Amino acid sequence: MQIGEKVKKERLERKISLREFARKLEISAAYLVDIEKGRRLPNQELLQKIADILDVSLSTLNQYNLEMPKHIKTWIEKHPIFSKLFRFILKQTDPVKAIEELEEIPTRTIPQAPFLAIYESELQAIALEASSWKVETGGDLFGIWGDIPIIYLATRVGPKAIRSNAHFRLDVDYLIKVSSELSSEWGLRYFGDWHSHHKLGLHSPSSGDRNRIKRLAEKNSFGEMAEFITSFASDSKKDHIVQIHPFVYRGFPEANPADSFLIVLKGLSPIREVLIKRKLMPEQNLASYSTFQLNKIRIPEEPLGRVIGSEGNQQRLISERLLLNVGTEFKRVVSKNIEMHQTSFGHILVVPVRDEQCVAFALDGKWPHKILQVDRLDRKIGQSTELDVNVESLSLLDLDGVINCYKVIRDN
């Protein structure tokens, strides 16, 4: 029995409702559900509250808690992907054997990288484009390659792509343009491509695919790349159910594709979200992804289940880029240095106006970083005045809106 199960058992024995217990703990009911289902680990302060309310000793609860240092527990809580993997291991009948089997995966399948993470929205985008063509088609994959590579954007190719019944060629000029923009603005790396094998009937990369990936890796000095092969499900071509087969290449120049497990991050990729909100890359029709139903996509078994995509390290990486991006854009507007201060609630963005006058935007720490409050700062006299600004729908995703808000304040 894990600690979440123990907490729930003790709560039910005392006939305390979930909502009442959450209220006494001063946390949300959803957070308590996550604890009881093992999706989150309570810190020591919260665990002490739980013990006090349930009238059990802390040592009793700690018998069911993970025996690990506090800083490791905190790190696991902030990284849902690794947390999911950790809980997956603990749920096995023999956790030690499960770890040994995972350790063997690199030599059997994908050296050092058995997993790829991708947002649901990007699976939908791939399936939508794949289902729109009876001949071969494809696109590109962009993301951040870390301990677990994360795909943040799957694009369709440019206008000069070549498609036929058994052949597909990328629009290289368009790929170079998009890669440069995504790299400079968002720190995304070109992962590789996705393409269909509708007519060929293949579920894995062809020899031509492998040679192309190896040439790209050599040209760009990549140590690893990804490739998705799509096809229509043989039993449901009429419904255009799309199968997606993920592969990873490692160890160039001799690298060969190996099957990959997908960790699917729930919801909309933050990169796609911000590009849609700012009306960038209109040729991609980025908002259309949602027209393809998730239940019409088939992917390999998901051993870890689906992971929340709106929090954790995968979101933090893009948040940092978004904050940097906003600072850069404001600097272009005012031609002066911009300040970004971290606070307990998020950040404060300070933009100069004139002399010692500034405009300060209080930003929520969570995506999409809503504007909480706008103040006028007078540093000469050390005074801050809250301004009557409607910030209800304003966030850093709407950069034009935030800049226009600044300009109105500056000009008045």
The torsion angle over the Cα atoms of residues 327, 331, 332 and 333, rounded to 10 degrees, is 100
Give dist(CA 245, CA 171) in Å, integer: 22
Say what the pLDDT of residue 77 is. 61
Residue 384 pairs in a beta bridge with 377
Q: pLDDT, tens digit, for every residue of 325-343?
A: 999 999 999 988 899 999 9
Alpha carbons within 13 angstroms on the beta-carbon side of residue 12 total 7
Count of positions (residues) in the chain: 412
The burial of 305, by beta-carbon neighbours within 10 Å (0-12 exposed, 13-18 middle, 19 or more buried), is given as: exposed
Give the global pTM.
Answer: 0.71
Domains 3-77 and 115-311 share a fold: no
Q: How many angstroms separate the Cα of 398 from the Cα of each of 175, 177, 280?
A: 26, 24, 12
Say what the pLDDT of residue 111 is. 40
The torsion angle over the Cα atoms of residues 342, 344, 347 and 351, rounded to 10 degrees, is -80
- The β-bridge relationship of strands 189-196 and 138-144 is antiparallel
Give dist(CA 85, CA 37) in Å, integer: 15
Say what the pLDDT of residue 109 is. 39
Rounded to the nearest angstrom, the gap between the alpha carbon of residue 313 and the centroid of all alpha carbons in its chain is 8
Say what the pLDDT of residue 79 is. 65
Q: Average of pLDDT values for 140-165?
A: 90
Q: pLDDT, tens digit, for every residue of 96-129?
A: 666 666 666 544 433 444 689 999 999 999 999 9
Contact 110, 248 (CB under 8 A): yes
Say what the pLDDT of residue 95 is. 62
Q: In this structure, how many other beta carbons lie within 10 angstroms of the beta carbon of residue 122?
A: 27
Contact 363, 402 (CB under 8 A): no
Q: pLDDT, tens digit, for every residue of 189-216?
A: 999 999 888 766 678 888 888 888 888 8
Which CATH code for domain 3-77?
1.10.260.40
Contact 384, 390 (CB under 8 A): no
Write down the domain spans for the chain.
3-77, 115-311, 315-411
152-161, 165-174, 197-206, 289-298, range with the lowest pLDDT = 197-206
Domain 115-311 has CATH 3.40.140.10: yes
Say what the pLDDT of residue 110 is. 36
Q: Give me the phi and psi of 191, to 5 degrees please.
A: -85, -35
Q: pLDDT, tens digit, for every residue of 355-385?
A: 889 999 999 999 999 999 999 999 888 899 9
Q: pLDDT, tens digit, for every residue of 214-271?
A: 888 888 888 889 999 998 886 655 677 899 999 999 888 778 888 888 999 999 999 9
Residue with more model confidence, 308 or 228: 228
* Average pLDDT of every residue of the chain: 85
